Structure 1
C-alpha cells in the first residue's frame, strides 16, 4: 500500500504520515512507501492534479503497491478519476477508520454504530462510483419505459438500511438512558474517560476499577463503552466510571453522529477525565482535537481533570517537577495530574483528587 498526504498549509501537517501508517497497520495493511506534496487547494478532478497522480502511479508500481491510501478525505468523483488514472484501488482516511471500527466493535451497540457510519459513507459513494450503476432496469415487460436505474435502486436500498439501523440504535439509546437514570437515582457521581486514541484510557480504567477491559498499545484498541463502579475510600462513596472510544484527528463526522449513544457517556458525566499521552510529542495538538470533538457533542462545559498518562515513558529530563499542578487549555486553567497507569505512579494522588471532586459535588 502506498500512503499519500497532501499539505494544504494546515497548521500541523503530518509530514511523515506516521499516524496514517499506524492506522493502516492497525487495519492489517502493509505500507510499502509514502509520498507527500503541497497544494494551495484540491484539484477538482484528481485531488492532486495530473502530474502528481502520474507520479503516484509510478511510485506505486516501483514498490509493488496494490492500493493507494490518502490521508485526507477525497470525493467520490476524485476517487473514481484517480482509480482510472492510476489503475488501482484508491481509498481515503475516512474509509480506513471505518474499517478499523468495523473490525474492533464487539457489542451490539458498537456494531450498529459502525454499520450506520459505513452505510452513510457508502451512500455518498454511489454517485458515478461504479460503471455498472449506469445500466437501466427496464419497466414492465422490459420495454415499457426507463424504469428505475440500478443507481436509484441501490440508493433506495441503502437509505432503507440507514433508516432501519437508526431505529435500532434509537432503541439501544433508550436502554442506555434508562441505565443512566438508574445510576443517577442511585446518586452515583458520573466520571467519563475521554482522550486521543492510544493515550492509555483503557489501561487507566483497568487500574482504577480492577476490570479486565482490553487494552493494547495500538489505535482504537477498544471501541465499546464500559461502565464500572469505583469505590473511593477518601470520599466514602462509589462513583460510576465510563471508558469511551478514543478520539482522533479528522474523525469522520458520520462517526461522531453514529457514535452519539457512546459519546453521550461523556456528555452526561459530572466530570471528564481527559487522558493525555504525556510522552507523545504531539500531545498539544491531540488535546485540541479532543476539545474539538467535545465541542461537537456539547460537552465542553463539563468540568475536566487532565490526566497526563505514561509518566514511565518520559525521559528523566522530561519528568515534571510536580505530579499535581494546573495546565492551561483554551485560556482556562485546568487541574492536572501526572500518572503511569502501567507502573501505578501518581495513582494515589489521582484517587485523592477524584475523592475531593466527588465529595464537593
Structure 2
C-alpha cells in the first residue's frame, strides 16, 4: 500500500459561508429521514439522511434537532417515524418536536440517474416554503454526498465552496462543480470515488509488513476524491501531446518509451495499438506529478492512498487476511504472464 505514483486524486475541503448576521436568532428545524425509493436501500437512505443533517448544521442558519433527540421525543410520544412521508404526518412530527420548520424529502433512482427531492415545510402554516431537486447521472452512491451538499446550498441559500488543495495560485478561481460531472473528472475523463472523512488504522500489525510500517496507528483524514482506476496510456499520451514535451517544467524526464505503452511519433506521442486502455507504465515521479497538476489534481499522500486502498478494512488486505484470495483481487507475478 506504499506506492501510489500512478494513482492521482483530488482532495476537497468544504467551507460553508455564514448566512446569519451576528445576533440574529436561528430558526429551529428538524430533518426527517429521506424516503428511500426505487434503487436505494433503506440503510443507504439512513446514512445519507444523517449526512444531510450535518450539512444543514454547517450552514449555520438553523438550530437543528439532533437525531438522538428526535428518537427520544418520538419514543416518549409513541410516534412512529418510519413511514412518515405525507405532509400531514411531517407537520405532526414538527409539532411534537416543537420546531418551526421541517426538512423532508426522498431519494431514488431512475435508470442510471439518482434523483434527490427536498422540501422545506412551515409547521405552523402547513405550507411548503421551498422545494429543490438534485440529479446525479451515471454516478456511484458515494457521489451522492456531493449532491446532498448541492441541494443543501440550493434550498438554504448558503454558499458551499468546494476547492482543491492543489494549484495554490488558482484556488480562489477554481469551481469544483465545473470540474466534475457526476463522478467523472472532466479534464482527463477519469472516474473518481469519494472517500468520506474519518479515522483509519495506518500501517501494519507487529510481525507483518516492513519495519517502517510499525507501529500501526490511528490517523484522521478529511474527505477527498481519488481516481477509481489507474491512469491509462491513452490519458497520459493526451497529456503529453497537450504539454508538448516529455520533460516537466524543470526539464526532467517524465516517461520512457515502451512497445506496450507510449511511443514518441514525430512531434507527438501515441499509445501502442491495442493498449490504449492499459495502465501507463515507465512513468517517472516527475511525470506523475506533472500529469496530476495538468489535470487539476495532485498525487496522494501515503496516508490518503492507504486509507482508500484499505476500503474500510482493518485486516491484512482490503478483502481479509487470506493470501489465498489475493489472486481474485490483484494481478501480480504469480498470476500474470511475463511480457
Q: TM-score, normalised by structure 1?
A: 0.27
The structure that is strand-richer by fraction is: 2
TM-score, normalised by the number of residues in structure 2: 0.28
Task: Kindly indicate which of the two structures has a greater share of residues assigned to helix.
Answer: 1
